[in-house]
Amino acid sequence: MEPGRKEGPKRMIPVTKPFMPPRGEFEKQIDGIWDRRMLTNNGPLVQQLEQQLRRRLGLNHLLYVSNGTIALQIAIRVLDLHGEIITTPFSYVATTSSIVWQGCRPVFVDIDPDSLNIDPARIEAAITPQTSAILATHCFGNPCDTDAIAAIAARHNLRVIYDAAHAFGTRWQGRSIFGHGDLSITSFHATKLFQTVEGGAIIARTPDQEQRIRYMRNFGHKGYEEFDGLGINGKNSELHAAMGLCNIKYVDEVLASRKRQAALYDERLQHPGIRRQQIRPGAEYNHAYYPVILPDEPACLAVKAALEAEEIWPRRYFYPALCTLDYTAAPGNAPADLPTAVDIASRILCLPVYHDLEPEVQHKVAEIVTKTLENSPNQARA
Ligand SMILES: *Cc1c(COP(=O)(O)O)cnc(C)c1O
C-alpha cells in the first residue's frame, strides 16, 4: 500500500495493476547489475530471461525485445512483407499502426461476434494479388482459428503473424499459443499478465529466422565492425530483464488468481443483457482480461459512468474500431463494411482484473453493473 492512499471502499480501482514481485527479490537482481556494470546489449539477465521463457513455453527461438510494437515491426520486416496485410479491426492500435509504419497497407476483415477474432470465413474474399500476409490477434488471449488461417495462407502463399500480446499462458492444441504462425509476437508491457515494465518477444520458427532477428534487433551488428543488413534498436535492458526474472516465478500464481476472479465474475454477473466472448473449446485460457459485451452503447456508457462514480475505472478495450483511424481509410476498410467490429467496439467494456483484486471489490463491480442494466431501458438484446 502506498503511503497516503486510504484503504476503504472509495479507493481507486483501475482496470488493471501490474503484478509486483517482493521488493527484496528485485533488489537482489539490482545488486548484481551494480556489480557487473553491464546495463544492456544482451547482458546475462536478458539471456537468463530468454532461457527461462523458452523452457517454460517449450519454444526454442524466442527473442526478448524492447516492446511488443517493435516486435511487430521486426516481424513484418524479417518476413519481407509488402503491399497489403489482412488484419483485424478489433485489437489494440499497435496491431494496425505497425503495418502502416512498415509501409504496408492494412486490409480489414470483420471479426466473428463470438470469438472476437478475425473471421476466417471472410478472409479469402479480401485477398488480392497485392496481399502478402495475415496479421491476426488472439483477442484477449482467445486462440484464433489457427487451422483455418493456416489452410488459407497455404492456398494463397501468404505468411501468418500472430499478435499474441494478450496471450501469455494460453495453450492451444497442446502447446503454447506462441508456437503458431510463421512468427508470433507478444508484449510484456506493465499492463500485461506477465510484465517486465516495458518489453516483448518475437517467437521465430527456425534457427535461421532467429539469427536474422538477432541481427535486426541490434542495428544489424554481426560483430563490432561488420553488419548483416538493415537493423534497428530492439534490444531490452538488464533492468527490464531483472523485473521479468522476478515475475516469472509468480506467473502460475497470477494465472490461478485470474481464473478464480473470472469464475467469480461469471457467477455474480448474471443478467440477460450481458454477453461474453466465447473461448475456443479445447483452449487452456489465461483469463488475462474480463470483457463484457453490453446491449448497446448507451448501456455501455451508463455502466462505465456508474462504475466511475464509485472510483472504479473499467476500460473500453477496444474502442474505437481500428477501421475508424484516419490513416487506414481505403475502399473496403470503411466502417460500414465491418459492422461486427464496429458494433462490438461500441459496447464492450473490460472490468478490473489484477492479481490482488479482492472478491469484495468484484462483488461491488458486479452489483453496479447488474443494477445499472436493470435500470437501463434496453435490456432485452444481448
Ligand atoms: C499491448 C499490445 C501491443 C503493444 O505492445 P507494447 O509492448 O505495448 O508495445 C500490441 N498488440 C496488442 C494486441 C496489445 O495489446
User: What are phi and psi for residue 87, nearest 5 degrees?
Assistant: -150, 175
377 CA distance to ligand 1 middle (Å): 36
The answer to whether residue 361 scores a pLDDT higher than 70 is yes
Q: What is the pLDDT of residue 11?
A: 85
- Ligand 1 mutation target, pool 102, 138, 139, 163, most atoms within 8 A of CB: 163
Q: Give the nearest ligand 1 atom to 98 CA.
A: 10
165 ligand 1 Cβ < 6 A: yes
The single-letter code of the amino acid at 274 is I
Res. 187 pLDDT band, cuts 50 70 90: very high
Distance (angstroms) between ligand 1 centre and the Cα of 68 equals 5
Q: Tell me the backbone φ, ψ of residue 163, rounded to 5 degrees.
A: -85, 100
Question: Can you tell me the mean pLDDT for 25-51?
Answer: 98
Q: Compute the distance from residue 111 Cα to the ligand 1 centre, in Å.
A: 19
Closest ligand 1 atom number to CA of residue 189: 7
Please determine, for residue 316, whether its predicted confidence score (pLDDT) is greater than 70: yes
3-state secondary structure of 137: strand
Lowest-confidence region among 1-5, 124-128, 287-291: 1-5
**What is the residue-wise DSSP string for 188-237?**
--TTSSS--SS-EEEE-SSHHHHHHHHHHHBTTBSSSS-B-S---B----
List pLDDT tens digits, range 195-218. 999 999 999 999 999 999 999 999
Confidence of residue 4 (pLDDT cuts 50, 70, 90): very low
Assign a CATH topology to domain 23-109+119-249.
Aspartate Aminotransferase; domain 2 (3.40.640)
Q: Which residue has the cell 485477398?
A: 127
Ligand 1 and 94: CB distance under 6 A: yes
Same fold, 23-109+119-249 and 251-374: no
Q: What is the pLDDT of residue 68?
A: 98
Single pTM value for the model: 0.95
Q: Which CATH code of 2.60.40.10, 3.30.465.10, 3.90.1150.10, 3.30.1330.20 fits the domain covering 251-374?
A: 3.90.1150.10
What is the band of 7 on the pLDDT scale with cuts at 50, 70, 90? low
Q: Is the CB of 189 under 6 A from ligand 1?
A: yes
- The atom of ligand 1 lying closest to the CA of 70 is 9
What is the residue extent of each domain of the chain? 23-109+119-249, 251-374
Q: Is 107 exposed, middle or buried (0-12, 13-18, 19+ CB in 10 A)?
A: buried
- At 281-310, the pLDDT tens digits run 999 999 999 999 999 999 999 999 999 999
Residue of 64, 88, 90, 92 to mutate, ligand 1, most atoms within 8 A of C-beta: 92
